[in-house]
Amino acid sequence: MSDAASSDLLALVQVHYQDLLRLLTRRLGCASLAADVVQDLCVRLRELGGDASAAIANPRAYLFRMAGNLATDHQRRARAIQRHLSPDPVPDALACDRPAADDVLHQRQRLLALRAAIDALPPRCREVFLLHRFTGLSHPEIARRLGISVSMVEKHVQRAMAQCRDHLRRLDG
């Protein structure tokens, strides 16, 4: 292709600039990327200069084909970069079921706060609460075992629960 043919193609880019831009915008989904590809097309046409030996039978078709090929190249490069930046997700077989370290730390802090709340209870209240929550005894069973009324068991459990809830609320801020 002679320099004259190259400059004729550049002039043809100017004539069909809007058509090229519309085509490439549809294909790439972005007007600024389409404008970049048209700019790349102009650079390539200048680089060709007199190096190409075959005569172009249909310059407009050649231009649009070249623009389409440049768009395809751009999409391939973008996918390659995306693959490099976004590694494949970890397969389920390799995923760890263990909780995150910060979750473990937070739960340990909550457990320590509960222990402190239980330790701060009066002895009888603490005993009732532990029998109820950790031994699984019913209120009447606790009342019989400790020789107190069911109503008193309920009050001790309510007091212990309120104290635990208050300690956790202070911890959670």
Check: CB of residue 140 under 8 Å from CB of residue 98.
no
**Token pair of 88, please?**
């494949």
Say how many C-beta atoms besides its own lie within 10 A of residue 126's C-beta. Answer: 17
* pLDDT score for 21: 92
Q: What are the pLDDT tens digits along the chain (173 aa)?
A: 555 556 688 888 899 999 999 999 999 888 899 999 999 999 888 887 654 535 788 889 999 999 999 999 988 888 888 777 766 665 665 556 677 888 888 889 888 888 988 999 999 999 999 999 888 899 999 999 999 999 999 999 999 999 989 888 887 77
* pLDDT score for 53: 39
* pLDDT score for 83: 73
Q: What is the 3-state secondary structure (H, E, C) of 131-157?
A: HHHHHCCCHHHHHHHHCCCHHHHHHHH
- Domains of the chain as residue ranges with CATH: 3-85 (1.10.1740), 101-172 (1.10.10.10)
